[in-house]
Structure 1
Amino acid sequence: MDGHADVISDVLETMRFTTQLFGRFELGAPWAIRVPKKETSSFYVLARGSLRLEVEGVDAPILLSAGDVVLVPHGAAHVLDDGSRRTLAPRDVIPSEQLRGSVLTPRRLGGEGSVSTLVVGCFRFSAGVHSPLFTAFPPAIHLPAHEPGVTPSLAATVQLIVAESSAPGPGSAIVLGRLADVLLVQALRARTAATSQDEAGLRALADPHIGAALGLMHGRLTEPWTVERLASGVGMSRSGFAARFHTLVGEPPLQYLARWRMMKAAQWLRETDDSLPEIAGRVGYESAVAFNKAFKRWHGVGPGAWRRARDVGHGAEAALPTPGP
């Protein structure tokens, strides 16, 4: 290894993302589903038919056809319907709570008209864990099946989800759960390639210079990085690097580095019994006192108090209900 990390893998591992498939649904026209704003992020795979999606914060409706994937990454309120322009009677609006079933037993909802088949799921990250690479996502990410930017591997994953959910067998729940994980990662890859040049977020990873700098930061977290050293490491001038990093990532380089160090520290406090001085060293602090101050500045409490609160909260967290779509 040359010290350049796989940034997407590092971010997803640290943010502890989980995915869940809620079920496969046969939706007969007329139908509509209103999903309220929530903390989890929805995703939909359209196996057949067509539908329309309207997302709060998005001006135009999104039209989906068979094989398309759409993510609502920030949990914005949204409406799915059969694509007709008519106003549906209240009886034709399906409560979002009904989008909870099993991929092993598809459910039929809606009317007697043309049918669209939809696989529904969600993903979420650990509470309070955020990355500027992901917060810049738009309210909805649409990945049409036949768009040039959609890779063969993403299309193949969609086909596997559709096939496995249509003919489930022993172990299908596990298979589909793993496929949902893969789907999210591949969707992020596709979004990285498709994001407009000046949009902050994952586009930074596709930029040869800023992507390399992010790889250095993630791969060599203990290094005493400066803006000058990072710029030199990726072959840019200091001023040009600082400006481009801020544009593509959404914050200055050393602010991003400080935030990431504190996120990694929180992960290790959560998942290991390593001492505070050991964790301080792993995130680039020679002084435990300086680490304590930095951690409290980012998280509101010192690392020792944060770890104790985590230990107390384990039982309560396990008792939380699984979020709906």
Structure 2
Amino acid sequence: MDGHTDVISDVLETMHFTTQLFGRFELGAPWAIRVPQKETSSFYVLARGSLRLKVEGLDTPILLSAGDVVLVPHGAAHVLDDGSRRTLAPRDLIPSEQLRGSVLTPRRLGGEGPASTLVVGCFRFSAGVRSPLFTAFPPAIHLPAHEPGVAPWLAATVQLIVAESSAPGPGSAIVLGRLADVLLVQALRTRAAATGPDEAAGLRALADPQIGAALGLMHGRLAEPWTVERLAAAVGQSRSGFAARFHALVGEPPLQYLARWRMTKAAQWLRETDDSLPEIAERVGYVSAVAFNKAFKRWHGVGPGGFRRARGEVRAEEAALSTPSP
């Protein structure tokens, strides 16, 4: 084994994303929905019709047609509407709270005009877990159904979501939740395979042969005493060329990225395992426990022991709240 790892899987597993599906909606023209900024990542699957999406931070609206998928990864405020008017009428605005229904009971909202069918949901990531590969995402990621670069399996997943939500049955909520998980992974995989200059920096890094290989080595061999020189040599680049390209595509220098990810993984293992601090320190490349303690506190604001105790107290409180009273 060469030590490379699947970076997308490693990041998503560490970030502990969960999916919540809000429902399937028939939106009759005229209609418009204003969604405020929030911490979750919204996603929309347009099963039928068309719509216009205006996202804060983007100058140009995104036009969606049947089969399209769009992600709003950072929870930016946005407006969806039927695209028929230059100016939205306040009476046509549907409160975003109404986009909380059930996949088992599709709802109709808006006017009596032509309808668009929209499946709505969100992804939530663990608090405090961030990756430069994801923070570099643009305000919205649009995956048109008929774009040549959109993989057939993404289209197949969309079709399954549309079919399951149109004829729900026993277990549909679970099926749709799992399909939404698959949708996110496939959307990231599709965009990571693209190499256009408009792609998000993090995704372009994964698509780049040398930088993507270096990321795979860093994630797969976390304890290695990596230097910029060693990473550059491993992927066949000069030190200066590698460092500059890595920074441009990932958004930070190689060793800063490595230090950040080491501390992210250390925090995960402190939360989820009973492994000793020296074991975790060694796993993330620190021979000295003292150096590991200092590095962890610099990144997380508290030492690894305090971090683990705090997480244990939170878990104990959650368990107590979930235990039925006698």
Interval of TM-score (by shorter of Structure 1 and Structure 2) = over 0.9
CA distance in 2, matches of 1:284, 1:192: 28
Q: Is 1:277 the equivalent of 2:272?
A: no
CA distance in 2, matches of 1:196, 1:117: 31
The sequence identity of aligned pairs, in percent, is 89
Q: Is the 8 A contact 2:195 2:207 kept in 1?
A: no
| Partner residue, 2:324 | none
CA distance in 2, matches of 1:44, 1:264: 31
Q: Is the 8 A contact 1:30 1:88 kept in 2?
A: no
Residue-by-residue CA offset, 1:231-260 (whole Å, 9 max, x unaligned) = 111111111111111111111111111000
Alpha-carbon deviation of 1:200? Answer: 2.1
| Partner residue, 1:168 | 168
Unaligned runs of 5+ in 2: 322-326
Q: Is the 8 A contact 1:21 1:122 kept in 2?
A: yes
Q: Is the 8 A contact 2:195 2:208 kept in 1?
A: no
CA distance in 2, matches of 1:32, 1:172: 28
Q: Is 1:254 the equivalent of 2:270?
A: no
TM-score with structure 2 length normalisation?
0.95
CA distance in 2, matches of 1:281, 1:46: 47
| Partner residue, 1:78 | 78
Alpha-carbon deviation of 1:89? Answer: 3.8
TM-score with structure 1 length normalisation?
0.95
Alpha-carbon deviation of 1:194? Answer: 3.0
Q: Is 1:200 the equivalent of 2:201?
A: yes
CA distance in 2, matches of 1:319, 1:228: 51
Q: Is the 8 A contact 2:30 2:82 kept in 1?
A: yes
Letter paired with 1:295: F
Q: Is 1:45 the equivalent of 2:45?
A: yes
Letter paired with 2:170: P
Letter paired with 1:94: I
Shift in CA distance, 142/318, structure 1 to aligned 2, threshold 3 Å: farther
Q: Is the 8 A contact 2:45 2:67 kept in 1?
A: yes
CA distance in 2, matches of 1:86, 1:80: 13
Shift in CA distance, 21/209, structure 1 to aligned 2, threshold 3 Å: same
Alpha-carbon deviation of 1:215? Answer: 0.6
| Partner residue, 2:150 | 150
| Aligned-pair Cα RMSD in Å | 1.6
Residue-by-residue CA offset, 1:80-138 (whole Å, 9 max, x unaligned) = 01111154443321100000011111111111110000000000211011100011111
Q: Secondary structure at the match of 2:274?
A: coil
Alpha-carbon deviation of 1:310? Answer: 1.3
Alpha-carbon deviation of 1:314? Answer: 3.1
Q: Is the 8 A contact 1:45 1:119 kept in 2?
A: yes
| Partner residue, 1:266 | 267
| Partner residue, 2:33 | 33
Alpha-carbon deviation of 1:196? Answer: 3.3
CA distance in 2, matches of 1:59, 1:319: 48
Aligned pairs for 1:53-202 within 5 A: 53-194=53-194, 196-197=196-197, 200-202=201-203
Residue-by-residue CA offset, 1:43-89 (whole Å, 9 max, x unaligned) = 00000000110000100111110000000001000000111115444
Residue-by-residue CA offset, 1:124-156 (whole Å, 9 max, x unaligned) = 211011100011111011110001111000000
Q: Is the 8 A contact 1:192 1:202 kept in 2?
A: yes
CA distance in 1, matches of 2:71, 2:319: 26
Letter paired with 2:36: P
Shift in CA distance, 317/130, structure 1 to aligned 2, threshold 3 Å: farther
Shift in CA distance, 169/68, structure 1 to aligned 2, threshold 3 Å: same
Alpha-carbon deviation of 1:171? Answer: 1.2
CA distance in 1, matches of 2:64, 2:197: 25
Shift in CA distance, 217/315, structure 1 to aligned 2, threshold 3 Å: same
Q: Is the 8 A contact 2:157 2:183 kept in 1?
A: yes
Shift in CA distance, 93/292, structure 1 to aligned 2, threshold 3 Å: same
Alpha-carbon deviation of 1:169? Answer: 1.2
Shift in CA distance, 178/260, structure 1 to aligned 2, threshold 3 Å: same
CA distance in 2, matches of 1:258, 1:185: 25
Letter paired with 1:244: R
Letter paired with 1:173: A
Q: Secondary structure at the match of 2:149?
A: coil
Residue-by-residue CA offset, 1:272-301 (whole Å, 9 max, x unaligned) = 111111111111111111100000011111
Q: Secondary structure at the match of 2:201?
A: coil
CA distance in 2, matches of 1:64, 1:171: 29
CA distance in 2, matches of 1:319, 1:178: 29
Between Structure 1 and Structure 2, how many residues are aligned? 320
Q: Is the 8 A contact 1:56 1:77 kept in 2?
A: yes
Residue-by-residue CA offset, 1:8-59 (whole Å, 9 max, x unaligned) = 0000001111111110001111111000000001000000000110000100
